[in-house]
């Protein structure tokens, strides 16, 4: 997934791990396990770029800009050699792994269409939190129960959240992608709208290959360069990968123990608080002041209750003094959620609120919890990618802060929509409806 990272040297990661995980060789024998070598089949027509511009409207995503960058690809790669040398990569290694590369332009069709940013919340949850995924997750947790127990004991991270990430990212290892990570990151380092970010990922992938951490034929993954059952980006591997089974290798491709241990380590380093959950579904009264639903506004749950919020299903909140922010992804028409600090920790794994909500909900379902109580507004027409981009551009034109318009909706876009709704006298719930788009077009 686009994870979307500062670096921590592998030695520092290993030093933090030493003495805190597996205490004996006897323990080691109980937490080993391998993941079957599977990958997603290449779909018909999956080899060629469509030749079309991306949907973000970014100048580097026009068809002409993509072609020009592709023509310059060999020179772009060669210009990265000095940066690779500073990381200790030999010229021979650079020539072996980087020099022969060609751009995989098919990736350009995926850059602007990530589902966690372009689908409705309910569509995204429908796809990822299914009965089949819940059943398989419980089966995998039972099969590797010793590993999950040891990982949870070591890092204090909820085992169900770790399992949920495994389930959402690759359906428990069934679908990992089959694109060479080095080629994907090289392509994105030289072509498209996020070259600065992917330049670092490309160099990190080179480091992995140069050190022999992962063999070239096993360093395959998604179009964005994420690899392994829980989809680590190369820079995240450098910072967070752990040799949990203590066999001398940080194997985030085939070792269940290393994969789960590293995933928990990444969450812990992202701020996970042991013994706490990610958040709660809540009922928000229609009379609520939705301008309070901001990620930057945290109150105690007790204070939110004073505003009329109640836990869905009628249960009491177990820790009323915990601080949380309110998220209402479907506005007044759908469920609300009080998000605790652990929700932010999940978002540091992937900065999409839809993704983090899917992880939290799947974890609860794996634990035996129920589905969300309230209905989503499925009757609402979901805006197309072009309409999403247009809405952001119109908001920016009218002076509202949406960042760089890219057709992907997050907290900043919802905040801008709320401010616009308040200005025109609508309920400022931040929901990007067709009505909001029409009102913007009319101004």
| 125-159: pLDDT as tens digits | 999 999 999 999 999 999 999 999 999 999 999 99
pLDDT at 45 over 60: no
pTM of the model: 0.85
Average pLDDT over the chain, rounded to an integer = 89
Contact 163, 137 (CB under 8 A): yes
Predicted confidence band of residue 175 (pLDDT cuts 50, 70, 90): confident
Contact 216, 98 (CB under 8 A): no
Q: What is the Cα–Cα distance from 101 to 119, expressed in whole angstroms?
A: 33
255 pairs with which residues across the strands? 34
Lowest mean pLDDT across 208-222, 261-275, 333-347: 208-222
Percentage of the residues of the chain whose pLDDT score is greater than 90: 78
pLDDT at 41 over 50: no
What residues have CB less than 8 Å from 158, skipping those under 6 apart?
Answer: 152, 272, 277, 342, 363
What residues have CB less than 8 Å from 409, skipping those under 6 apart?
Answer: 117, 388, 392, 432
pLDDT of residue 119: 80
pLDDT of residue 205: 97
The DSSP code sequence of 164-202 is HHHHHHHTTTT----EEHHHHHHHHHHSSS-HHHHHHHH
pLDDT of residue 384: 87
Closest alpha carbon to 303 in 272, 285, 324, 279: 324
Instruction: Give the SS3 label for residue 250.
Output: coil
């Amino acid at each position: 997934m686009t994870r979307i990272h500062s670096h921590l040297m592998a030695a520092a990661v290993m030093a933090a791990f030493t003495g805190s995980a597996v205490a004996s060789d006897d323990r080691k024998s109980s937490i080993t396990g391998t993941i079957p070598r599977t990958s997603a089949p290449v779909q018909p027509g999956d080899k060629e770029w469509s030749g079309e511009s991306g949907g973000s409207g970014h100048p580097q995503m026009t068809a002409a800009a993509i072609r020009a960058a592709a023509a310059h690809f060999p020179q772009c790669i060669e210009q990265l050699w000095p940066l690779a040398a500073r990381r200790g990569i030999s010229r021979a290694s650079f020539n072996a792994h980087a020099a022969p590369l060609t751009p995989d332009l098919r990736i350009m069709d995926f850059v602007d269409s990530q589902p966690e940013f372009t689908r409705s919340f309910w569509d995204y949850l429908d796809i990822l939190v299914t009965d089949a995924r819940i059943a398989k997750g419980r089966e995998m947790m039972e099969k590797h129960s010793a590993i999950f127990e040891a990982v949870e004991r070591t890092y204090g991270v909820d085992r169900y959240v770790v399992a949920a990430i495994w389930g959402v990212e690759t359906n428990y290892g069934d679908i990992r992608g089959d694109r060479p990570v080095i080629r994907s990151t090289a392509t994105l380092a030289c072509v498209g709208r996020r070259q600065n970010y992917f330049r670092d990922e490309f160099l990190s992938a080179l480091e992995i290959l140069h050190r022999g951490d992962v063999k070239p034929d096993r360093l395959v993954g998604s179009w964005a360069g994420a690899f392994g059952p829980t989809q680590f980006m190369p820079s995240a591997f450098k910072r967070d990968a752990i040799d949990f089974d203590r066999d001398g290798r940080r194997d985030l491709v085939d070792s269940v123990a290393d994969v789960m241990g590293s995933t928990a380590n990444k969450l812990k380093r992202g701020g996970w608080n042991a013994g706490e959950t990610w958040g709660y579904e809540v009922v928000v009264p229609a009379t609520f002041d939705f301008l309070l639903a901001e990620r930057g506004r945290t109150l105690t749950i007790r204070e939110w209750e004073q505003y009329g919020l109640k836990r869905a299903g009628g249960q009491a909140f177990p820790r009323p003094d915990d601080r949380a922010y309110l998220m209402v992804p479907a506005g007044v028409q759908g469920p609300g959620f009080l998000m605790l600090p652990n929700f932010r920790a999940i978002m540091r794994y992937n900065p999409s609120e839809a993704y983090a909500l899917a992880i939290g909900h799947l974890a609860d379902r794996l634990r035996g919890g129920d589905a969300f109580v309230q209905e989503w507004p499925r009757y609402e027409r979901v805006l197309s990618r072009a309409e999403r981009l247009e809405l952001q551009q119109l908001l920016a034109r009218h002076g509202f802060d949406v960042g760089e318009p890219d057709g992907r909706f997050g907290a900043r876009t919802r905040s801008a929509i709320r401010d616009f709704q308040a200005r025109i006298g609508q309920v400022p719930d931040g929901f990007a409806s067709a009505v909001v788009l029409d009102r913007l077009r009319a101004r």
